[in-house]
Amino acid sequence: MTITVLLLLHGLVAMLLVGAITHQAIAVWRRAPTSGAQFFRRLSSVNTGVYTNAVIVLYVLVVIGGGVIYPTYVLDVKASLTDAQMLSAIGAFEIKEHVAIFGLALLPSYRYYWVNERGITHDWARKLNTTAVAAIVWWSFAVGHILNNIKGL
């Protein structure tokens, strides 16, 4: 029961993280002034800097939550996937467990280019840091969601 609640919380926090980092990643690549449909104009014209600390807090919470429920995955889910020969699912999760840590390691640099260096000089550093974190978050979210559909805790 406890692990189910933890998995649910882990997923909910991950969903918030996906929303925040996606917003920021879209906005960091926008070409001003943005034209097009009002939805996309508003989506890309937010004050992106305000998402930075939220992204970091949410990311750390998701990693901690993942670290807590990971042993249960190893004992219950991974064993079932192995028995069912669902090797792609295991591989996708293996990649998730690794790249999620790479994203964690990149967070101080990501924060620096949003908080300390807002100038155009470091525009590419900001774009690449944000895109890398966003891609990692999306991979992790998608894989976690799919695995939960295959065999939840």
Partner 1 sequence: MRHPFALGVFAVVFSAVYLAGFLNGWITFRFYPLNNVISLDDLPRTAGPAMGWYAWIVQGFVAGLAAGLIAAAIPKRITDKLWSGWAAVGVILLVAATFYFEWHWFQGQ
* Per CB under 8 A, 49 contacts partner 1: no
Tokens read off for 42: 């508003």
DSSP 8-state secondary structure symbol assigned to residue 45: T
Site string for partner 1, 13-42 (x = CB under 8 A): ------------------------------
> How would you label 1-11 residue by residue, b for 16+ Cβ within 10 Å and e otherwise?
eebeebbeebe
Q: How many residues bind partner 1 (CB under 8 A)?
A: 41
As a whole number of Å, the end-to-end CA separation of the chain is 9
Task: State which of residues 83, 116, 120, 149 lies at the interface with partner 1 (CB under 8 A).
Answer: 116
Q: How far is the CB of 38 from partner 1 (least distance, A)?
A: 32
Q: Which of 24, 52, 129, 140 binds partner 1 (CB under 8 A)?
A: 129
Among candidate residues 24, 21, 22, the one with its CA nearest the CA of residue 46 = 24
Q: Binder to partner 1 among 75, 84, 142, 146 (CB under 8 A)?
A: 75
45 binds partner 1 (CB under 8 A): no
- If one asks whether residue 60 binds partner 1 (CB under 8 A), the answer comes out as no
Residue 119 has what DSSP assignment? S
Q: Can you tell me which of 12, 74, 146, 150 binds partner 1, judged by CB under 8 A?
A: 74
Residue type, 67: G
CA–centroid distance for 97 within its chain: 12
